C-alpha cells in the first residue's frame, strides 16, 4: 500500500507540474492582446509613453493585425517625432485596411516629415509619399488637402530631378 501511495503522490506532483507549465506557457490570445492594448491606453493617459509603446508593441506581437494598436503606435511615434517608426506602423495599417484614406494620408505625411527632419529626401520616399497622397485623393477626394500635397511633392520631385540632371 505504501508503494501505491508513493506512486500516486509522484503522479500527482508530476500532474501539478505539467499543469502549471501548460498554464504558464499557453499561447497568448486575442484577449491578452486586448489587455496589452488597454494597458497601453492607460499608460498613455499617464504620459508614460515609453511603457505605452511597449504595451502596444506586445499587443501587436500577439496579433499583428491589431489595427487600433498599430494606429496608437503610429500616433505615439509621430508625437515623439519618430516619423520613420510611425511610417512603419502606418504601412502595416495600409496592409490591414487599404481602403482607409487616413492611413495613406498619415503615411505620406510621416514620410515627408522624416524627409524634412533629415533635411534631405530620397527620391523613393518622395515618390512613395506622392503615390500615397494620390491614393488618398482617389479614396476620398478633397481629404485633408491631399491635392495640395500632391502638387507640393511633384514640385519637390522636379527640383530633385533638376539637381540630378
Residue found by looking up cell 482607409 in the block: 100
Mean pLDDT of all residues belonging to the chain: 84
pLDDT at 74: 97
C-alpha–C-alpha distance, residues 115 and 111, integer Å: 6
Between 12 and 99, name the one with better pLDDT: 99
pTM for the model stands at 0.77
pLDDT at 24: 54
Query: What Cα–Cα distance (Å) separates residue 105 from each residue in 20, 35, 91, 95, 126?
Result: 48, 29, 11, 14, 13
CATH tag for 64-164 (out of 3.10.180.10, 1.25.40.340, 3.90.650.10, 1.25.40.10): 1.25.40.10
Mean pLDDT over 20-36 rounds to: 69
pLDDT in tens, 95-117: 999 999 999 999 999 998 888 77
The domain spans of the chain are 64-164
Least confident stretch, 20-29, 36-45, 53-62, 73-82: 20-29
Between 73 and 10, name the one with better pLDDT: 73
Between 130 and 165, name the one with better pLDDT: 130
Q: In angstroms, how far is the first alpha carbon of the chain from the final one?
A: 95
- List of long-range contacts for 155-162, beta carbons under 8 Å, 24+ apart: 156/121, 156/126, 157/123, 157/126, 157/127, 157/130, 160/121, 160/123, 160/126, 161/123
| pLDDT interval class at 146 (50, 70, 90) | confident
Residue found by looking up cell 501548460 in the block: 22
| pLDDT interval class at 29 (50, 70, 90) | confident
Amino acid at each position: 500500500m505504501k508503494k501505491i501511495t508513493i506512486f500516486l503522490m509522484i503522479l500527482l506532483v508530476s500532474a501539478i507540474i505539467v499543469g502549471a507549465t501548460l498554464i504558464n506557457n499557453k499561447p497568448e490570445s486575442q484577449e491578452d492582446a486586448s489587455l496589452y492594448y488597454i494597458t497601453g491606453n492607460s499608460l498613455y493617459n499617464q504620459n508614460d509613453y515609453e511603457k505605452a509603446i511597449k504595451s502596444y508593441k506586445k499587443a501587436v506581437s500577439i496579433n499583428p493585425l491589431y489595427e487600433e494598436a498599430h494606429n496608437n503606435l503610429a500616433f505615439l511615434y509621430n508625437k515623439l517625432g519618430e516619423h520613420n517608426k510611425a511610417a512603419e506602423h502606418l504601412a502595416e495599417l495600409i496592409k490591414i485596411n487599404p481602403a482607409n484614406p487616413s492611413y495613406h494620408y498619415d503615411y505620406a505625411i510621416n514620410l515627408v516629415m522624416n524627409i524634412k527632419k533629415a533635411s534631405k529626401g530620397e527620391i523613393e520616399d518622395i515618390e512613395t509619399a506622392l503615390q500615397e497622397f494620390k491614393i488618398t485623393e482617389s479614396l476620398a477626394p478633397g481629404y485633408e488637402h491631399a491635392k495640395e500635397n500632391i502638387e507640393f511633392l511633384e514640385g519637390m520631385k522636379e527640383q530633385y530631378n533638376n539637381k540630378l540632371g
